[in-house]
Amino acid sequence: MVQELTHFVDGKRLPGTSGKFGDVYDPNTGEVQARVPLADKAETEAIIANAEAAQKQWAAFNPQKRARVLMKFLQLVQEEMDSLARLLSSEHGKTIPDAKGDIQRGLEVIEFALGAPHLLKGEYTESAGTGIDVYSMRQPLGVVAGITPFNFPAMIPLWKAGPALAAGNAFILKPSERDPSVPLRLAELFTEAGLPGGVFNVVNGDKEVVDVLLTDDRVKAVGFVGSTPIAQYIYETAARHGKRAQCFGGAKNHAIVMPDADLDQVADALIGAGYGSAGERCMAISVAVPVGQDTADALVAKLTERIGALRIGRSDDEKADFGPLVSRDALDRVNDYIGIGVDEGADLVVDGRGFVLDGHESGFFAGATLFDRVTPDMRIYREEIFGPVLLIARAADYEQALALPTEHDYGNGVAIFTRDGDTARDFTHRVEVGMVGVNVPIPVPIAYHTFGGWKRSGFGDLNQHGPDSFRFYTKTKTVTQRWPSGTKEHATDHFVIPTMN
Ligand code: NAD
């Protein structure tokens, strides 16, 4: 039976009234398993109004009290980890261990946000002038919105909501319409944890909802994660309407493989980073850059052997290395790019097209693909494929290898594999990419550092989680004060702002 999903408003599930719906698939079978309501302008405006009314009460909680609600939420999600992971996997198609990782990496940012009492402390200068003290405080923005992608339906909403809520904002989440069930369940758990109604809301929808969030004056900030064209649109539109915006886009992450690296370790790392979660990770490695012909030949042989041993299966198959892609469109896109790569003259070493899982002929499965001798002018190199396709772009020397990620339009993540400290240090210093791994294939920073790509992978000037997230979700107020006794004591002193006199 096709389940009908809802929005989540004022602490409870709310059926849609627009009459518009989107289909949510089981990617294992290709069948529709749920319908998600797509809100219209009026529904979205009502949610904003509700959030605005709730925010003041929430901001009046002291930071420690807010953190305690998040602590309870953390505990409730941990207790429900297994069923949440199954739900996530059933709509997304990632394996259960990957789904648990998705939730866990989100919870780590909630753990970080428990430090709100400390993170919201301001600054104080005693005697900035005679009898004058100056202090700064951080105050919430009000109502803020998060617009998130399909590929991490728990982690990215929590990366945004955790710091936003801890700082005293009300949060409106517009999750991906492809896998909205986990965000809805997280909303219920927030309420169960003691979050007042209206403080965390889920509005399902498409561009119509997003455009209301981007233009309504009551929404003060927008955090986005998704593809680059939409990230740029959201950044520009939100900025034009006077809002703060941080928008993270697509990626083409390289792994440089130096001749001194342990190639077995590298091949294992690239199989996980290139094909894990069917390549649907913004930090997936999609280009390996072996330095020197011997390194390249050996690496291609080791990868080919390992690809042959990969198990592609249902997302709930415990032995599967990866499951299906999220949608038929995603599968078609990946197959189209493989055709483009062949036409462009890249060397197709392993062809993942046409993979069929027995009994799941209509599922969205793609096999693993490996291309060798890919060059920077090819579309398969320049554009994001977002599927289980790994490219080998051979480099003659270190400088040529360094130039590839540095000159690429995207600058999300990059890795270097080497045993040489000098090379690693030079690389981390010079590469034009936001997140760098040294012998670490997927360098997603830990929650108390900060996540963000450069160039066309990120628009806006503050990153996600870490201290940046509290800066993004608060505004600074600075108070300059003098008390009567100070005035009497220093009756002859003057404190004035700088003037021509
Ligand atoms: P997407 O851009 O299609 O969708 C992201 C969100 O934007 C969704 O909520 C969607 O409903 C909304 N949206 C889509 N089209 C819109 C439009 N025309 N106007 C307004 N809103 C619109 O991305 P996706 O396919 O869900 O996610 C995959 C993409 O996200 C990949 O490009 C991946 O690299 C990127 N991603 C980036 C990061 C990062 O941190 N840089 C993390 C995860 C995913």
Q: What digits encode the pLDDT tens for the residues 413-446?
A: 999 999 999 999 999 999 999 999 999 999 999 9
Query: What pairs with residue 435 in β-bridges?
Result: 413
CB of residue 102 inside a 6 A radius of ligand 1 = no
Q: Sketch the domain layout of the chain as residue ranges.
A: 3-249+457-478, 253-438
CB of residue 226 inside a 6 A radius of ligand 1 = yes
- Distance from the CA of 340 to the center of ligand 1, in angstroms? 23
CA dihedral 108, 109, 112, 115 (to 10 degrees): -130
- The CATH number assigned to the domain with range 253-438 reads 3.40.309.10
Predicted pLDDT at 485? 74
Task: Tell me the pLDDT of the chain averaged across its residues.
Answer: 96
Query: Would you say residue 489 has pLDDT above 90?
Result: no
pTM of the prediction? Answer: 0.96
Question: What angle separates helix 207-215 from helix 228-240, to the nearest 10 degrees?
Answer: 30
Helix %, strand %, coil % for the chain, to 5? Answer: 40, 25, 35
CATH architecture group of domain 3-249+457-478: 3-Layer(aba) Sandwich (3.40)
Whether 282 is catalytic is yes
Ligand 1 atom with least separation from CA of 458? 41
Residue nearest to atom 38 of ligand 1 (CA): 282
CB of residue 150 inside a 6 A radius of ligand 1 = yes
pLDDT band at 486 (very low <50, low <70, confident <90, very high): low
Residue nearest to atom 39 of ligand 1 (CA): 248
Buried b vs exposed e over 417-429: b needs ≥16 C-beta within 10 Å? bbeeeebbeebee
pLDDT band at 1 (very low <50, low <70, confident <90, very high): confident
Ligand 1 atom with least separation from CA of 282? 34
CB of residue 207 inside a 6 A radius of ligand 1 = yes
Q: Report the percentage of the chain scoring pLDDT > 90.
A: 96
CA dihedral 125, 129, 132, 135 (to 10 degrees): -30
CB of residue 39 inside a 6 A radius of ligand 1 = no
